[in-house]
Structure 1
Amino acid sequence: MRFRRPSPVVVDLVVVAVALFDIWVNVDPAEPVRLGCALGGAVALLLRRRLPLITFLLALPAVLVSDAAFATLAALYTLASLTRRRWLLAGCALAFTIADMAPWPAPKFDLSEPSTLITLSYTAATAAAPVFLGQLVQARRDLSLRLAEISEARDHERLLTAQTVLAKERAQLAREMHDVVSHQVSLIAVRAGALQVGTQDAEVKEAAATIRRLSVQTLDELRHMVSVLRAAGGRPTELTPQPSLAELERLVSGSGIEAELQPDLPDGLPPTVQRAVYRTVQEALTNVRKHAPGASARVRIHRQGGTVRVTVTNTAPTRPALPLPSAHYGLVGLRQRAALLGGTVTSGPTADGGYELRLELPAAGS
């Protein structure tokens, strides 16, 4: 039986209940200031998922005036599991340590006493525990996301490999049909035509005409089948529409990342130029998703004089990228495609830690 995780609302209510129990054990109801600060920290835990830092700040006074520390520790754990700012976590842990070591209204903080140093070490360790636990949960969450992305990428790669093998087999079959079968059927049609012209026998003439007609029909069907197989094998034919600029919006919206498209191109660009632009944007967005997790991208396409310019820029990644297997052929293929059309592809990092890929092509193609 698979364990079902409780809903976040139930978890939050349980955390608040534990914080109230901590107040009931450690705070005297006859002290309204201490009781009010402790209750405020416990109630603030309801905001910990949306406003973790504010929740910690609201719960911190409870540690300063009382011994009810659970709410503050829970808020510190939530903050550590949601933020990536290490300096903020260090400051919050230090604030908890100071508040716990210097209780209000009569702080006692004498470092000359050995017992004070022992208490300080214990309090600092208590503050560090939820920080480390929260960072561990955050790392586990990031790792789960990356593993899901890797699994999706492998499935996609496996599908592409299967499609490539199938395309090669179909292309080979198309060549065999064109070079062997079509040639032999053509010979049959020619010989049948010669027999039809050369014979005087009416029955033989009719049979030859039938053979010739059926051979011509078979040739037409073979040509159609060859064109279908070549189209399935990756040949650019009318049966396999190649990507154009009209499909860029769907490509960007379905890229799986936050991307903005800024197209400014006239109609009538050659199909080869449109395909090169499409493939460049496709490869750039794939690289952003693979090597810059959490980054956003901007795709700008415009025509300046007789040159089409494409710029794909992404921001710095928000999560560390895991090393993935790659043959590094993507950019090489883009450069080769651009060179065949008389253009260039350049790429490199940006000043803010992102990356930029630029394509320049003659608008008329090559």
Structure 2
Amino acid sequence: MGPGQRRVVDVLLAAVCVLAGAWDGLQSGLFNGSPLVNERAPLAVNVVLGILTGLAVLVRRSRPMLLYGSALLCWGVVSAYPALLMAQFSLGAHVRSAWHRVVLTATMLALVTGPLWRAGGGDSAVPISFALCIGPVLVGLYLTSRREVLASLEERALRNEREERLRIDQARAEERAQIARDMHDVVTHRVSLMVLHATALESAQGRDAVAIASQIQGIGRAALNELRTLVGVLRDGAAAPLRPQPGVNDLEELVASSVALGLAVELRVEDGLRAPALVEHAVYRVVQEALTNVHKHASDARTTVTVGTDGDGVLLVVRDSGSAPMLDVAPGGGHGLLGISERVRLVGGTLRTRRLPGGGFEVLARMPMVSEVLR
């Protein structure tokens, strides 16, 4: 019920109370006016009491005790009963204290039942008293409790909807981060190699031009194929390729491609090393990003890649000796280290990077043998 409808109901109920003060039809016929003294008060007094009770009806939600007192006064003077029903209903609906409800209902019951018992006996006094004093309280309690339960359910539904929206937003954010990592891992490494090959081609001044151009072409085609696959998954919902993700066994090929560009890289992998696929893939991506950074920033440095076990985890160390600053032929957006750090964290590991005292750079990652992917 909206505020406008409630106001109309309040006005109608107030009008009934005003009418009850002046019209015998809304007064108990067992008494000649007052049930206490069995005498009729002047009409002006009855009308004033009816108006006061009607005004109390309009504020019964915020001041139920005002209507309670007005109803008792109107009953004691005029024997009008409509206000009793409204007062007891407001008692159950708007008085929060159970003790107050019990005391006030008992008081009302005593003041109503006594005169009725004397006038008509117990057979009529008991059901009428229940209907006037107890029934409305129970109805008010029921409707208020039902309204509170419905409000609680609505609030819970809204809260669940907000939480679901937050979960969806979080999932989308994680998906965007995953796409960004994949785009970086898939594209940046190969594009960086293409730029470095192009730089070498320019420096060669015609020597080995065919071989270098062939390498650029092969790298470019591989990058395009991977881009088409990734874009197809994003745009059309196509199934992701079923080939295994690169892992520790693919590090030799990755290092070989860097050596072919003139980078001095030494790979050391512990014999028989086996880890979960997600951990091995994270190892591969860390090495890939580290070598890409060496290509861009210290191409004449000596680099060592060490992969082994560290207690119950996998320890990866990529360390270069450093070199004089060089032109950054393939500038990045600064997201590479952030991306591999996130990959390592998703499998339950830690990543640390630092500049070495004697020059150079070190990337150290520790990952558990049991993948702890965070979802």
TM-score normalised by structure 1 residue count: 0.49
Radius of gyration: which is bigger?
2
TM-score normalised by structure 2 residue count: 0.48
